Each structure stands twice: as C-alpha cells, then as structure tokens.
Chains A and B, each alone.
Chain A
Amino acid sequence: MTYTRVTNYTLTGSVLQTLYKNESKLVDLQEQIATGKRVSTVSDDATASANIMNLNSLLDEIDTYISNIDTAITELDTADEMLASVTDLVQQVKELAIEASNSTNGADELKSINDEIVQITENIKSIANTKIGSTYIFAGTNTSTAPYTSPTDGEIDYVGTPSTGDYERNVQIGEDNTLAINMAGDEIFGYYRADVSSSTGYTGTGLFNTLQTLSDALLADPTDYEAISSKLDELDTDLETVISARSKLGSISSRLDMTKTSLEDRSISFESYKSSLEDIDMAEAISELSLQETALEASLSVSAQIMQISLLDYL
C-alpha cells in the first residue's frame, strides 16, 4: 500500500495492529498447549466438533455395552460352576443307584442309600436356587422368588417362569442387538409336584422327577428292583440335559467374549480417530509457539525503533 502522507497515527496504528495480531496468536497457542486440545469450543472447528460429539456418544455407548457384557459374563460363569457341580452330583446319584439295583441289598441298606440320595437332592435343589445379589438365576423372570419350593413333603415344585413362557432375561450388547443370557430352571432340572388327578398323586419331569421317584422306589416295600434299574436310564437322560444346558450357556458366554473383544477394538480405533481431531500435536504446537515468540520480539524491537525517530532529533 502506498501512502502519500504517513501520519503518526498510521505509524503507531500499524505498530499496535501487528503487536495485537502476534500476541493473540500467542494466546491461542498457549491455551491449546495448556489444554492439550486443538478444539475447545465448537466454533474453533465446527466440522471436527460435530464428529467429536458423535464419537463421544459412540464411545459412551460402547462402554455401556461392554459393562453389560461383563455383568452377564459374571452370571454365566456362576451358572457354569453350578452346573458343573450338579453334573458331579448326578454322577454320584448314578453310582448309588447302580449299587442299589444290586438285588443283594436289604431294606436297611436301601434305606441308607436313600438317605444319601435325599441329601444330594437337597444339594441339587439349593444349587437350583442359586442367587446372585438379589436375583435367582434359574427362575426365569421371577427373579425375586426361589424357583424351587417344597410346599408339602416330597414335592419339589418349580415356581419360576416356565420355559414355555416369557422367561428370557435379555442384555443389550450392541445397537439393535440383545441376547438372552439365562435358561428356565424347569428346562434343566425339571420338577415334581402334587397333582390330585394323577394316579400317584404327583406329576413331574426331568431330574427332580427322577430323583423323587427313585427315592420312592428305594423305600418301596416290597423292593422293586426293576423300577430302580429303569431309573438308571432316566438318570443318563437327565445328565445329558444338564450337560447340554451347560454347553448352551457356555456358548452364550463365548459369544459375549467375542463381542466384547470386537467392541474393545472399535473403542480403540474411535478413540484414536477422536484424538486426531481433537488433540494438538504437542511438538508442533511448541515449535509454533517459539516461532511466534521470536516474531513478537522482532516486531517489538522494530516498532520501538520506528516510533522513536523524528525530525526533532535532528533540529
């Protein structure tokens, strides 16, 4: 720009302008270095900010899914342990039943075998009533009530949500992605309840049915060895049921593990993308800072020289 007259206002004006510009760049850089962020308000970079806000939401969601998965895995691990114990206990019953089917046993021996079996049955019943926190895990959605009760002697009734009903407890592991993490108790352990319409006075199915009817057979007078032997096949079927339940829950657990790993990977890549948008390159910022400081010093010293000279010095 050419000037025909340069006034003192122009001189000082332009000096101040340059100083302000330098100083304001310095202030910006200082703030960026102090916060580590290139973008601290939306107007610093609106497009990047939109992406950053979306990423923040996504990262929060992923954290939630991961924490859901962790809670579910805890329950599934417990369920797996419990079912492992049940498997052992059923094996024990089977051995006792084999022993009992030997026709050389007298009534007293049969009674003592029965006592053991009754103990094991109680054990299995209390495992079926496993509680994590305040939730009975084998009760379907009736999580506040113990699924197995004995209102009268001999009954092992299932009062949880039946497997034919709405028993599933779901967990959200992704957008539009829920997974049921439980099984209804009656599907694993069966039940044995009083029923006036039945000839025996009871109806039942599954493991508890087998255990209770085995108990009846052991105490029957006269001893029905055939009945006792037939229980062995039933016990095998029941064992199969427990083992397959365990593997079903196990496969849910491994699916959750896989989902968790992929969520964690996604989280890492989102974090790094977010950082590339939001964070400053510290080395770059600091070298920029020292450049600006040098520029400021230079402009200050030039300004001082320009402002001081006038004709007065020479008159």
Chain B
Amino acid sequence: MSMSSINISQTAMTASQAALSVVSNNIANMNTEGYSKQSIELSAIVLSSNGTALSAAYSGAGVEIEAVKRYTDQYLEQYYRTENSELSYYEELSDISSLVEDSTNELSDTGILSSLSDFYDAIQSLSSDPTSESLRTNFIQTALEVTTKLNETYETLTDLRTSLVGDPDDPNAIDTSTISLSCDEVNEKLAQLAELNENIILLSNQGITPNGLLDQRDQLLNELSEYLPITTTENENGSVNVSLGNVSLVKGSEQVGYLDAIYNPSTDTSEVEDNPAIIQILDSSGNVRVSDANSLIDSGSMGAILEICGSDSTKLTIKGLLDDLNSLASEFADAINSVQLYNSGTEASMCIDSSASTEQLKVATEAIFVNSDTGTTTGITAGNITINEAVLDNPYEIATAIGEIDTLSGTPVPVEPNAVGDNDAILSMAETSSTNLAGLGGSTIKGFLTSVISEMGIKIESINNSYETQDSIVSQIESKLSSATGVSLDEELADLVKYQRAYEASARIFTVSNEILETIVNLGA
C-alpha cells in the first residue's frame, strides 16, 4: 500500500544518504596513508517490524544498512609486514655499509694501500743513499702517513660502531646510541598500540566496528615491522596481539613487553667487544623476562644494526674489519721493527751515529713503530700505531746497514763503523712488502689488505642487490594490497552517481506515494 511505499522510500532515502556519506568519506581519505576503503552493505528488509500478516502482494519492507564494511586482507597484510621488515633490514644495512665503504677508500690514492706503496717507495729511495738526511726524513714522513691513515680509519669505524651500539670500553655510551633510541621508539609505539586496542575493544563491545581505529592500528603495526620482525594475531574483538618470536609484547589492551638496550653485562671482555649491546625484554614492573633477545631480532632496522655491529664472521661486520686492520698494523709494525732491531749475536742492524764527529755506524736500538699507549712494540693495533718519538726526532736512527758486531763490556759495537753506505738492512725492510706473513694467513701486507677490502666489497654488493630485489618485492605487495584495500576515484565517482540516482528515484516515489495518499484522503471530500 502507499503507506508502505512511503516507508519503503524513506528507508531507501536514508540508506542512499548513508551510502553517499561513506562514498564522500572514501574520497576525502583517498590519499590518507593506511586508509582502507569502506563500503556500505545494504540488505533488503524482509519482514516488516510491526508484524502484520503477510499478503500475496507482499514483496518486502525496504532496505536497511547492515554494516559499513572495511576492505581488508589479513594474510596479505601480514605478508607485507614480514617483507617490509626485510626491506628495512636491507635498507639499514645498505646505509651503514656505504658509510663503512666511505671510510676505507682504497681505490683512490688516499687510502692505506696507497700510503703503504709510498712508504715502500721511500725505503727504496733510501737504499740508494743511506746517509742522506732528506731521504731519511722522507722515510719518516711516509711512515707517518701510514700510521695516520690506519689511526683515522680505525677511529672512524669505531666511532660509527659506538654511535650505533655503544662502546665496549664505555658502559655509558649506549644511552645515546641508535639502538637504544630505536628501543624507546618501539616502546612508544607498543604503548600506542595497547591504547588503540583498548579503544577498539570498548567500541566493539558496543557493537560498533571502529574502522578508523582499525586503520590506525594496522598503520602502527606496519611502522613497528620496520624496526623488528613482529608477528601478530587478531582477536575476535578487533584487538591485536603482538609478539617478537615467542615473546609476547602486547596482549590486548596491555603492553606486556618493554624493550631495553643495555651494555653487555658479561665479564668476558671479548664477549663485550663482540656484542657491546644486549636487548632485554622487561615486564611492566621492570623485571627481566628475556635477558638476551638479540637472536630474536633478525630482521628490521634493529636487526640490521645488531648484525653489522656484531661479530658474525660470515656477515659484514664493523668489528671484523677492525680486527683485520689491527692484524695488518701489528704484522706490518713487527716486520719493520724486526729488521730495525735485528741482532743475531754476531751481526746486527745499524743506524748512523749522528753525535759522532764523522759519520759512523752504531747498533740500532730504537724501534720504528710503537704502541702509542705504552711506548713499547707489543700490542700494536691500527688505533694506537705510531712512530717512535726518538726516530721522529732523529731520522738517523733508522737502520740501513747490517754488519758484524763485537760486544765490548756488554754493549755491541760495529766492527766496521765506517761502512755507512751499506744498505743491507734497508733492502731487507723493502723485502717485507713481498714476504708472506704467517700472521696474515700467508698473505703479503698489501695482498692481505686488498683481499680484506674486496671481501668487504663483495658483501656490500650483495647487500645492495638484495636491497634492490626486496624493494621490488615490497612494491608489488604494496600494489596488491592497495588493489585489495585502496580507494579508486573512478569507482567512488561511479558509486556517487549510483547512490545519487537511487536517492532521486526514491524521492520521486515518495512524492508519487504522497500524491496518491492525498488523492485517497480527498476522495470523500
């Protein structure tokens, strides 16, 4: 009957208006990050609410809004988060390794290799005129270049590592490190997530699907996945549980796990050097739930930092490079010092006695390279290698000759003090550049450095390739995700026209029904 037509068209107009506001919300948010398209679900009202008997002419009671559905694809979203973690992992590795590469610029003529070449060149020049003061000074200058380069590279790499994970020698440095800041950021997001969960639960208990809050929740989960590899499970009430491996971090509206980066408490100094930072998981009262979660964080930007600042020899690590540089410095210093201080009992290396009135040889007693912390020749590293001050002040202390010695009253003196043109010692020093040293795995000094740098290059190349590949993978997933959940302007505009027409038509029916009613009412008049 007409009354029912009026009711029916009233439900239609209401439904169309609601649909239009959903469409307008979609268009308004088409560029909002993390927004999932919503669509209205309408269903036909089958039975009228007033329970009157149904007649054969009965067709239905109009349209009602069942729900506003949010487009979502849980499996795709979880997949996206996992791959996004990997992407952030490779991105961070790529960024850090490019900094590492910058500090070891060995292809240019300003690297350690080039300074070693210059030093050996200076040795050769000195061999042709061992008494020349200027050539001796040249030897010192080029040696200084080598030690300076080693010191600088060591310092740059150490500083990089400290800024990321703290300093094995300074327990306080971790407070300002990147890993510690990342932990703080993660904790903040976990707290936000717990709060969102609480609100979501509240609203769902009242029967409302909080689509906007669900979008925010997913966005937060994506951001978290960039830091570390999280797994999520969605609860029936719309809240989500987050865990790292099997360690739960957020359960419903409660944050149950707090990340804390601490200075490695191990008493073994080599363990502290290998891993200066340990990530712990605490509970809300500050008690330790997991004392070492580093192995759980194997992806995301935090995973990348822990890996490159750790000590896994199969991966690119800053410590690995530092250890290699230290070996290089130590073996190099040893090789040169051994020649400088050679004394077999019957012969020894000799330098020039600059205090004598005529040029004469004396037995060399000053090492060339020393440890700047102790002044001795032991424990030399790339960080502390330096030129012995005695040699720096007096280049004549460099041993150039080898000759027989006599031991008079305990001190060795040269048998032939006039043989100042002898260059056996300096030639022997030159030979160290082509000697295979056991301490460097059987490589020569320059050969060792070359292979260390090219191995580093191979690892970095592989990281960059993986990064590129992962980037394409994530882009594709993003596209698919957008296809499943994103807003298409054309689709919305088509819907706009659709609902607008529906509204117009319903309004027209309303008008017609109204006219009919008027006619009926005025029938008796």
Contacts and interface: CB of A to CB of B under 8 A. Distances in A.
25 contacts: A5-B491, A8-B488, A10-B479, A42-B454, A44-B461, A46-B460, A50-B453, A53-B107, A57-B450, A60-B114, A61-B117, A67-B121, A134-B129, A134-B132, A135-B129, A141-B420, A142-B418, A143-B130, A145-B359, A161-B419, A165-B416, A166-B419, A169-B423, A172-B124, A310-B489
Contact of A52 (B107, B422, B424): B107
A58 to B, nearest CB: 10
Contact of B419 (A45, A63, A142, A175): A142
A8 to B, nearest CB: 5
Nearest to A3: B483
A61 B488 CA distance: 67
B505 interface: no
Nearest to B419: A141
Contacts of A166: 403, 416, 419, 422
B489 A5 contact: no
A1 B419 contact: no
A176 to B, nearest CB: 7
A161 B416 CA distance: 9
B418 A144 contact: yes
A143 B131 contact: yes
A142 B403 CA distance: 12
B76 to A, nearest CB: 13
The residue among A43, A44, A49 with the most chain B CB atoms within 10 A of its own CB is A43
A49 B457 contact: yes
A50 B450 contact: yes
A198 interface: no
Given A53-B107, A57-B113, A311-B494, 5 more contacts: A9-B478, A57-B450, A68-B128, A142-B419, A311-B489
Contacts of A46: 454-455, 457-458, 460-461
Given A17-B475, A171-B128, A49 B454 contact: yes
A294 interface: no
A67 B129 CA distance: 13
Contact of B486 (A7, A57, A169, A311): A7
B178 to A, nearest CB: 22
Nearest to A16: B475
Contacts of B131: 134-135, 143-144
Contact of B493 (A1, A42, A312): A312
Nearest to B71: A5
B429 to A, nearest CB: 11
B interface, by DSSP: helix, strand, loop or mixed? helix
B205 to A, nearest CB: 33
A159 B482 CA distance: 95
A275 interface: no
B475 A310 contact: no
Contacts of A141: 401, 416, 419-422
B423 to A, nearest CB: 6
A5 B484 CA distance: 7
Contacts of A67: 121, 124-125
A47 B433 CA distance: 23
A247 interface: no
B113 A311 contact: no
B101 interface: yes
B421 A140 contact: yes
A132 to B, nearest CB: 9
Interface of A: 1, 3-10, 13-14, 17, 39-47, 49-50, 52-54, 56-57, 60-61, 63-65, 67-68, 71-72, 133-135, 139-145, 159, 161, 165-166, 169-172, 175-176, 178, 310-312, 315
B181 to A, nearest CB: 27
A129 to B, nearest CB: 14
A268 B403 CA distance: 39
Nearest to B491: A5
Interface string B466-501: 000000000110110011101111110110010000
A45 to B, nearest CB: 8
Contacts of A14: 479
A37 B130 CA distance: 40
Contacts of B127: 68, 170-172
Contacts of B346: none
A143 B421 contact: yes
User: Which has the most chain B C-beta neighbours within 10 Å: A8, A45, A134, A165?
Assistant: A8
Contacts of B31: 8
Contacts of B118: 60
Q: Which of A57, A67, A142 has the most CB of B within 10 A?
A: A57
A36 B416 CA distance: 56
Contacts of A10: 479, 482-483, 486
Given A139-B421, A172-B430, A13 B456 contact: no
Nearest 6 A/B pairs, CB to CB: A143-B421, A42-B457, A7-B486, A50-B454, A46-B457, A60-B117
Interface in B41-66: none
Contacts of B434: 175-176
Given A5-B484, A43-B461, A315-B497, A57 B446 contact: yes
